[in-house]
Structure 1
Amino acid sequence: MHRYGDEVAAIARPLVDEGDFDVLLDRIGSARVVMIGEASHGTHEFYTWRAALTRRLLAERDFSFVAVEGDWPDCERVDASVRGSAGEPLEALLGYVRWPTWMWANEETVDFADWLRAFNSGRSAPVGFYGLDLYSMWESLREILRADAVEPARQANECLGAYSEDPQSYAWATKFLRASCEDPVVRMLIELRGRDLAVWQNAEVVAGAEHYYRAMVRGGADSWNVRDRHMDATLARLLDHYGDGSRAVVWAHNSHVGDANATDQVTIGSLARERFGADQVVLVGMGSHRGSVIAGRTWGAGMTELPVPPGRPGSLEDILHATAPPSALFVFPPLADRPDLLVDEVAHRAIGVVYRPEMDQLGNYVPSRLGDRYDAFLWFDETRALRPLHPLHIDTHELETYPSGV
């Protein structure tokens, strides 16, 4: 018998269909924010089960919107589609053309967006779909200029335009040439704060991205923290926009969702617990033992279906492979009742958009205390790659994110 075998048997519930989420919905209760993570951005099961849980939250618990680890302008197109004011979701999702395209341009997301469009039909308060991330600096600036071309926006565009929409050129110029567009970008943001939500948010994206790229070339965790603080602030802004009683479902990688208060990183999960209170936030992680995944072998490389080797010996993935049902739901008990598995520090796999299976046993694992990091966990012993919409090589000028493209 595995040392954690009895503990896992006591808290693992087989996960067969959406009805098995009843116990998790009871745990969520009246929480304002539910964050649903994933151990990779390229796994079919993570996307389909995340969508299944979200469908129940929207249909039964009156959540107001879904906010994802995606860019604001791209997600605006999806939002218009699921509200029924624009074309079909497939058309909107095909518009995701910046690497890694497969992260949202995939059949699994189309299936959910089609469902959401039908769900919203006839509703007086349709559920929205928004992007929390900050990579769309130039796309967001163009949206501002089209919508409200105030003089500070023109000045910011003139400054940033010198870098030909290449964030690497801008980032390195801030480091070695002491160049900076910070001042005109900040003036633009001050001018546009409090305007129409879309214009205001695009200004926040430009300001957040400009800060992020300056931090990126310095190395370390600073750029990660800039990014997650931006996503946290965007989530809070959306909840304020929707008003009292609004509730949010968030989709992001485990590395952003899981609480990381014991490290030098912040995450949107830890920031949300601080902002709204731990009792108002439920963090759900996911993991798998082996299978296949869509990723790139290097940053900007074409998408590839890659094998996911069995979990490293002694890792969470190895432990659950030996002790848990093939598909399982864990809803963690209160702190005083937690078994050792939720308290002990174990290695927990995180696969980014860049993945090298041959290096899996050496990297890709994060030391984690599961009970501190999440409130619940979805487990799938064997998983398969998701289904991209357009398997084309897309060039990227983006800098690789810290720590590894998540």
Structure 2
Amino acid sequence: MSRKLVAAIQEQSIPLDDPAAFDQLLQEIGDAKIVMIGEATHGTSDFYRLRAEFSKRLIQEKGFAAIAVEGDWPSVYAINRFVKGYDSQPQPVKELLISSFGRWPAWMWANEDVEWFVSWLAKENQQRTPDSKIGFYGIDLYSLYESIDEVVNFLESNPSYGTDLELAKKAFSCLEPYNRMPEHYALSSAHFTDECIAEVTSLLQSIRSNEQRYPQAHEQDLNLEMNALAAKNAEAYYRAMLQDDALSWNIRDTHMVEAIKEIQSYYGEDAKIIVWEHNTHVGDAAATSMADQGLTNVGQLIREQYGRKHTYAIGFGTYEGTVIAGSSWGETPEEMNIPPTRFNTWEGQLHAAGAQDKLLLFNDKNRKQFDEWIGHRAIGVVYNPEFEAYGNFVPSRVSERYDAFLYIDRSSALRPLSW
């Protein structure tokens, strides 16, 4: 690996303890409508804390209207109801997060850093008029059954919407035989007709075509449509899951982009949206080896659909530290050590340039200095440190993948609320 990269990092990085670091980042963002803020793991406190702190400034100084996160719509919508004051008898924040995020990996959102930010956002919204309150929404699609439940329950409590209720019941009946386990649906999907596909598609189409009928109070219309959208795309995701990894990944990220655009449309075409997701979703896939596997992602699609001058992507990384993760899917989460990475990786180069936290800004003047291919660390909800060299580094052209990068030399695990 060329020492020129280390020299370029030393020359152009901004220490994160410099009070002006975020000022410069805000200036670079300019008038972007979509700002995507990543994370290199799903269990690092530093990433969550800094992402939240910068989002506060985007909200207060740049007028951003909502945050869209890598979480399921029904669970995260409970947080939106809380921060917007829709609940007459709200739970304490800690209890709300624990009860809303009971499914593995619960620690992603039921943790102390999210608790702090949700508390801040609720207080911020108390000072705002009803039409200027900041929203907080989930854009993932794992909530196949939860979203169908939400639609059916709403329509049953509002019997005047009989046509859509019948469509919702048909969709529910089609999916119900699989014991409310999407994995069973995935295993069975290769052997049945297109009935379930048609049912969830018809439900979404009907709700969209009749959206003016549904009450706007407490965003009931948005909640109904987004649950129908999640159910439709979740059905397609689980159907593809066991057949084609690239297809299921692309269905998921395409859904998240569709959800972002629906949220923005709800707030108005000029509304500005913050996106919180893993680096692998927000960093442009076209600048990584993911493209060789036929994968796209949110960052790439958002850039293509909005144009680069209207979007901004911020990545995160760490050299070593601790993280919350499971050793396999569904296993009890634990605090694990992240070992120091090799010199010939992006994080290794950042460490070699000086063992301090830093910010790098990429623009037309300097992108070429940072666009060589290099391994960039990514840790998900499942992690095995002893094997990370074989599967946790994504070859990337970092300055093309992101517009800015926040580096934490030694990071710390977040604290789950259930511990």
TM-score by length of 1: 0.93
1:114 corresponding residue in structure 2: 119
Write the distance in 1 (CA, Å) between the matches of 2:341 and 2:401. Answer: 19
Which ranges of 4 or more aligned residues in structure 1 deviate by more than 4 Å? 176-180
Greater shift, 325-334 or 120-129, is seen at: 325-334
1:13 corresponding residue in structure 2: 14
Pair 1:332 & 2:362 matched? yes
168, 171, 176: which is aligned to 1:156? 171
299, 306, 314: which is aligned to 2:344? 314
Q: Note the residue ranges of structure 2 that are not aligned, 5 or more in a row.
A: 157-164, 212-220
Q: Deviation at 1:286?
A: 0.2
Pair 1:129 & 2:136 matched? yes
In the TM superposition, what are the counterparts of 1:277-316 in structure 2 within 5 Å?
277-316=307-346
Which amino acid in structure 2 is aligned with residue 369 of structure 1?
R
Q: Deviation at 1:193?
A: 1.6
Q: Deviation at 1:50?
A: 0.4
Write the distance in 2 (CA, Å) between the matches of 1:22 and 1:130. Answer: 26
Q: How many residues are matched?
A: 389
Greater shift, 200-209 or 167-176, is seen at: 167-176
Q: Deviation at 1:20?
A: 2.2
In the TM superposition, what are the counterparts of 1:248-263 in structure 2 within 5 Å?
248-261=273-286, 263=291
Whether the aligned pair in 2 keeps the contact of 1:18 and 1:53 (CA below 8 Å) is no
137, 141, 145: which is aligned to 2:148? 141
Pair 1:347 & 2:356 matched? no
Which amino acid in structure 2 is aligned with residue 107 of structure 1?
E
Task: Please list the CA deviations of residues 70-108 of structure 1 after superposition, one character each: whole Å capped at 9, or x if unmatched.
Answer: 011111110111112332332321121011000000000
1:401 corresponding residue in structure 2: none
Whether the aligned pair in 1 keeps the contact of 2:203 and 2:228 (CA below 8 Å) is yes
2:53 corresponding residue in structure 1: 52
89, 93, 96: which is aligned to 1:92? 96
Match of 1:266, SS state, is coil
Pair 1:169 & 2:170 matched? no
Task: Please list the CA deviations of residues 313-340 of structure 1 after superposition, one character each: whole Å capped at 9, or x if unmatched.
Answer: 4010111110045110111131x53343
Which amino acid in structure 1 is aligned with residue 133 of structure 2?
P
Which amino acid in structure 1 is aligned with residue 75 of structure 2?
D
Write the distance in 1 (CA, Å) between the matches of 2:302 and 2:313. Answer: 10
Q: Which has the higher helix share?
A: 2
224, 227, 231: which is aligned to 2:256? 231
Whether the aligned pair in 2 keeps the contact of 1:294 and 1:303 (CA below 8 Å) is yes
Write the distance in 2 (CA, Å) between the matches of 1:46 and 1:75. Answer: 19
Write the distance in 1 (CA, Å) between the matches of 2:306 and 2:102. Answer: 34
Which amino acid in structure 1 is aligned with residue 202 of structure 2?
R
TM-score by length of 2: 0.90
Q: 1:106 to 1:352 in 2, by over 3 A?
A: same
196, 205, 215: which is aligned to 1:181? 196
Write the distance in 2 (CA, Å) between the matches of 1:239 and 1:103. Answer: 24
Percent same amino acid among aligned pairs? Answer: 41
Write the distance in 1 (CA, Å) between the matches of 2:48 and 2:154. Answer: 34
Write the distance in 2 (CA, Å) between the matches of 1:179 and 1:241. Answer: 31
1:398 corresponding residue in structure 2: none
Write the distance in 2 (CA, Å) between the matches of 1:82 and 1:65. Answer: 11
Q: Note the residue ranges of structure 1 that are not aligned, 5 or more in a row.
A: 392-406
Which amino acid in structure 2 is aligned with residue 168 of structure 1?
E
Write the distance in 1 (CA, Å) between the matches of 2:94 and 2:258. Answer: 29
Q: Deviation at 1:343?
A: 1.2
Whether the aligned pair in 2 keeps the contact of 1:174 and 1:180 (CA below 8 Å) is no
Whether the aligned pair in 1 keeps the contact of 2:80 and 2:135 (CA below 8 Å) is yes
Write the distance in 2 (CA, Å) between the matches of 1:302 and 1:56. Answer: 35
Write the distance in 2 (CA, Å) between the matches of 1:101 and 1:21. Answer: 30
Task: Please list the CA deviations of residues 168-226 of structure 1 after superposition, one character each: whole Å capped at 9, or x if unmatched.
Answer: 11001012556752121112111112521111110000001000001111133110100
